[in-house]
Structure formats: C-alpha cells, structure tokens
Amino acid sequence: MINAFAAAVVLASIVGLVWLGQADEWGMGRRSAGIRLTPVERIDGALISLGVGLLGARIAFVLAHLGYYGSHPWESVWFWQGGLSWVGGAIGATAGLAGYSRARRRPFLALADSLAPPVALFSVAGWIGCLVDGCAYGRRASFGWLTPASPDLLGNLAPRWPTQSAGALLGVALLVVLLLSNQRKGRPGGMACLAVAIISGGSLALEFLRADPAPAVAGLRLEALGAVAFLAAGMIGLGALSLRGDREAG
C-alpha cells in the first residue's frame, strides 16, 4: 500500500514538471543573464535529477539502516514504503543534473536555478507526507499551542515539537521567495545556492528537535552532519557569487 509520503512525493514531482514546462508561458521563467533554457531541457534535467536523486535517497537510507535491510534485502527496493534520506537524495540529484549538464553541454548553474522552485515544492510535499504518516516526528514537550499532540510512527499521541509543520512552512516561505525572485534577472547559481542554504539550514535546526530513531555519530544524527555540509556549500556559493558581483561592479 502506498503511504502518504510516497503519494505526496509523486504529486510534487508531477506539479514540478508541469511548472518547468509552463513557466515561460506563465511569465515565470528564470532570466539568467545571456542564458536561455528550453522547457524540454529543463524537464529532461529534472527527470534525470529526480531519478538519480530518488535512487541516492534510497541507497543512503538503506546503508544507514543496514542492520535491518541486511536481513531483509528484498525490502531495499520497496520505494513505496517510504524510507528516503534527503541528504542522499540531494547528492544523487546534484550528480544526475551535473551528468546531464555535461552530456548536453548546458550550463549547470542555470539548470540548477530552474529546478529551485520545484525542489522547494518537493520539500513541502515531503514534510506534509511525514505529517500525515507520523514520520520525522518531534521530541516530546510540555503541552502548549506550539507543541500540539501528534503521533509517532506507532500512532502514540503526545505533545511534540511540530517538526513536520515547521519544515513544511519553511518550504512554503522558500517557494514564495524563489517565485518572486524567479522573474528578475540574476546571476546563474544564486537561486540554487539560496535554496540549498535555506533547506539545509532549516533541516539542521529541526534535526535537534526530532525524536524518530536515526543513526548518529558522536551524538549527532547523520542527517544533521549532511545538513551541515550542504549548508556550508550553499553559503560558500552565495558568498562567491556576491564577491564576483562586487568585483565586476568595481
């Protein structure tokens, strides 16, 4: 049976592909200086990035839970049951897009910018799916308006930090920012780096409020370590683009 998380991911993927195909007609196409991508190029890049990203997300999750999947190897390919690592997915998606960019000789940063809004939508859908299914649930807390009763994976209700709702709201805020900036001319890579920094930074903060079981190193969840790496990459990218702009302006 397909769970809510899987259904949300499929729906977000469809909506994202429609967006990539219709953005120009809706007047929402990205205007990177001197670079124009066709809808077909954006969709092709997205499909490859999505496929490799899902594969990377599943492989990373299985490797992180090898104790279980080692004795249930057939379940490793049950994507519809959930169990994806966003860090592994981000690595896979980046690698897939880079491969497509190189093969078609199209600018990687411009392609990454075009995928930023769909990625934000994908993040929102993932958190909403977790909210419905009870995955990525928060730590127990004293009952209050910020800590409503919510279930864990076993359906146990308790006041918890609303990690899923906070993640979804962060994704919505990022999507709005990206859609507004998508209509303006900008330096290639800016939107992609902004999306990476905000998504990874928000995920890092929420990792400390999550209570779902996960592998850890030195007391830190593996996903938190991955978030640190992507946050650093996003911030370095934004800083490099800013310095480059200052030099050209000077």
In the predicted model, is pLDDT for residue 105 greater than 90? yes
Q: How far apart are the first and last CA of the chain?
A: 59
pLDDT at 246 (0 to 100): 60
Residues 148-196 pLDDT 10s: 889 888 888 999 999 999 999 999 999 999 988 866 666 888 999 999 9
What is the pairing mode between strands 216-217 and 220-221? antiparallel
CA distance 57 to 84: 5
CB 160 within 8 A of CB 138: yes
10 Å CB burial of residue 195 (0-12, 13-18, 19+) is buried
User: What is the pLDDT averaged over residues 220-228?
Assistant: 92
pLDDT category at 69 given cuts 50, 70, 90 is confident
